[in-house]
Chain A
Amino acid sequence: MAEPARAKPKPTPETQHFWDGTRAGELRLQRCDDCAHVYFPPRPFCPSCGCRKVSVFKASGKAKLYSYVINHRPAAPGFTPPYAIAVVELDEGPRMMSNILDCPQTPEALELDMKLEVAFEQLDDAITLPQFRPAKG
């Protein structure tokens, strides 16, 4: 019997540029042309001032660990427990959910505010996930 599949994102017209970015190895954010607010998740207007003039730009990929759980049970399909579900804070300001790769999934190894860098995890031809791992150096 096939294992139940891992949840996979399905892009919409408003988010396609983000998923095109991760496939190209870029973490893309949006900035308001009017008030300079940087935001996530993607949408074609600024959630701070309502302006429709916004620009997509490549983020630094630098972040720090904001908070997390280490999930034991029940585990999501496609995941082997225990695994951390984290929220990272990007240097540009927005926060996003992520797993923490290349790191023991323990409270000792996962220190709040530790420096992280983006890593791209390809799920299939269409979808590459933005993930984070401890920053090198």
Chain B
Amino acid sequence: MRRNQVAVVGAAETTELGIIPHMSQLQLHADAALNAMADCGLKPSDIDGVATAVETPQQIAHYLGITPSWVDGTSVGGCSFMLHVRHAAAAIEAGLCKTVLITHAESGKSMIGKQPRSTPADSLNGQFEAPFGVYGPPSMFPIPVLRYMKTHGITHEQIAMVAVVQREWAAKNPRATMKKPITVEDVLNSKMIAYPFRILQCCLVTDGGGALILTSAERAKDFPTKPVYILGTGESVETPMVSQMQTFDSSRAFRTAGPTAFREAGIAHKDVDHLMIYDAFAHLPLYGLGDLGFMPHEETGPFIAAGHTRPGGKLPLNTNGGGLSYMHSGMYGMYALQESVRQMRGIAPAQVPGAKISVCHGVGGMFAASGTIIFTNET
């Protein structure tokens, strides 16, 4: 894909985040979409492309009163929205549509109008993982981490620092769910969920949503918002079964999506001013730093422990507080994208001064899928 041909012109989250029992999941989609349309002065009739995950594009289009000529229902977990951005940018550049709305919402806490996730007994997961007592992401996502730690010499304290640093960012964000400062000791003494991870190393469970509107860079100039350009993109999938990953030392999906985006953007890692790495659990930023090529995996733990990703550090990471402290409705990728857009617009609560390039990296399932979007506010 060519650089800077497509821009985000509308971006918004749901009016409320957290516990929203008075709204169904579908209405949360609409709330976010209407906020994003208001952000850039559009009406549903101005939208000709719709992308969403879990809910279907037909559900979202009809509910909002949109007649799309392009849709994308890619649903690969929490990074689906990174893939939607990539696909939408390609579609707009190819002339398949002009103005794309991407929506996410999840009634992850209140479970209003949301089907519980289930694993059929005759699926491969149902036959070869479910019988061994896996029960939701906290019992599955951390399975690789002990091997990662042994291979790369990473310590429990270093991984605990991920949660500590993200709480520092969250403290600067009025919309963050958890703002009270925590220490490494607090993390390592918090309630055990699935050894080696304790509750402060696991994401929040909340309700909310977000939406993005993309159009061509040429049309973006006519919008009231500061355009945020798509500089590079990447995507991949590996396996729906965490036990079948090629290795636990890194993620093949990350290693494919991330470097693809960097090549497409034509940038070096030192050019990155701001970084988001989807943190459903505390080990993900380490995998991301290594697999995206910022540093060897052995250096990821020491890098975070040294404070380089905290406010004022040389590589600001997960500046909204992340899935650990900001919010996590189940498919957090949209909130990571929203924070990258805020940073590129210069309006983030914890704004990185003068940031020009933001890398936003997402995961889907338990390392099952990945998407990377690189944004810039310069052309």
Contact = CB atoms under 8 A, between A and B. Distances in A.
A74 interface: yes
Interface residues of A, number: 38
B124 interface: yes
Nearest to A73: B193
Contacts of A96: 128, 243
Contacts of B126: 7, 9-10
A8 to B, nearest CB: 6
A16 B285 CA distance: 40
Contact of B193 (A12, A15, A41, A72): A72
B132 A67 contact: no
B130 interface: yes
A99 B244 contact: no
Nearest to B121: A10
Interface string B99-141: 0000000000000000000011110101111111111101110
A56 interface: no
B239 to A, nearest CB: 10
Nearest to B134: A85
Given A68-B143, A69-B195, A85 B132 contact: yes
B229 to A, nearest CB: 39
A5 to B, nearest CB: 11
A71 B139 contact: yes
B145 interface: yes
Prevailing SS type, chain A contact patch: loop
Contact of B139 (A15, A76, A78): A76
B146 interface: yes
A54 interface: no
A123 B121 CA distance: 14
Interface in B318-354: none
Nearest to A129: B131
Contact of A70 (B135, B195, B244): B195
B196 interface: yes
B144 A67 contact: yes
Prevailing SS type, chain B contact patch: mixed
B131 A69 contact: no
B139 A85 contact: yes
A29 to B, nearest CB: 13
B243 A7 contact: no
Contacts of B194: 69-72, 85
A75 interface: yes
A69 B143 contact: yes
Contacts of A6: 131
B248 interface: yes
A66 B194 CA distance: 16
B254 interface: no
Task: Choose among B128, B136, B138, B197 the residue with the greatest number of A CB atoms under 10 Å from its CB.
Answer: B128
29 contacts: A6-B131, A7-B119, A7-B126, A7-B130, A10-B120, A10-B126, A40-B244, A41-B241, A67-B143, A67-B144, A67-B145, A69-B146, A69-B195, A70-B194, A72-B192, A72-B195, A74-B136, A74-B138, A79-B133, A79-B135, A83-B133, A85-B134, A85-B140, A86-B132, A87-B143, A97-B129, A97-B132, A99-B132, A112-B150
- Shortest beta-carbon contacts, A-B, top 8: A76-B135, A67-B147, A70-B195, A9-B127, A10-B121, A7-B130, A10-B122, A69-B194
Given A10-B122, A85-B139, 5 more contacts: A76-B133, A82-B195, A85-B143, A87-B248, A129-B131
